[in-house]
Amino acid sequence: MMKTVINMTKLEELTSEIRTFCEERDWTQFHTPKDLAIGLVGEAAELLELFRYKNLEESLSALEEKREAVGDELADVFFHLIRFSDLYGFDLSDELRRKMVKNAVKYPAEKVRGKNLKYDEYE
C-alpha cells in the first residue's frame, strides 16, 4: 500500500513560484485561457497514457514502475491549473469548496454510499 505524504506548502507559494517562472521567460503572452485549457487536457492525457489498456493490477504496477513519470504528469496538470487560476482570477480553494457544496446536494451520502453512478442515475 502507498504511503500518504502530506506537504503543507501553501497554494499561494506555488502560485508565486509559477508566476515568477513564467514571467522570467516572458510566457504570459502564450497563456491564453484556451491555450492553458489545452495544456491542462494535454497533460492529463499524458497521465492517462501511462495507464491505458491496463487492468487494475497492471495499473498499480505501472504506478510503481513509472512513479517519476506519473509525478511529472501530475505536476504538469497542476502547473496548468494553477497558472490558469492565477491569470484569470480563480481562487482554487474557494472554487473547490463551492463545488463540494453542489456535489453534496447532487450526491447525498445516504443515497450514493458505495455506488459509482452519476447523479442522474441513482434515483
User: Is the pLDDT confidence value at 3 over 80?
Assistant: no
Residue 1 resides in a domain: no
| In a shared domain, residues 102 and 49 | no
How many domains would you assign to the chain? 2
| In a shared domain, residues 97 and 54 | no
C-alpha Rg value of the chain to the nearest Å? 18
Nearest-angstrom CA–CA distance, 92 and 79: 13
* Tens-place pLDDT, residues 41-62: 999 999 999 999 999 999 999 9
Residue 66 resides in a domain: yes
| In a shared domain, residues 96 and 56 | no
Nearest-angstrom CA–CA distance, 106 and 112: 10
Nearest-angstrom CA–CA distance, 44 and 77: 6
| In a shared domain, residues 22 and 79 | yes
| In a shared domain, residues 112 and 59 | no
Residue 4 resides in a domain: no
Contact (CB, 8 A) for 2 and 60: no
Residue 5 resides in a domain: no
Residue 119, domain extent: 91-123
C-alpha cell belonging to residue 47: 497521465
| In a shared domain, residues 68 and 96 | no
C-alpha cell belonging to residue 63: 504506478
| In a shared domain, residues 80 and 119 | no
* Tens-place pLDDT, residues 109-120: 999 999 888 888
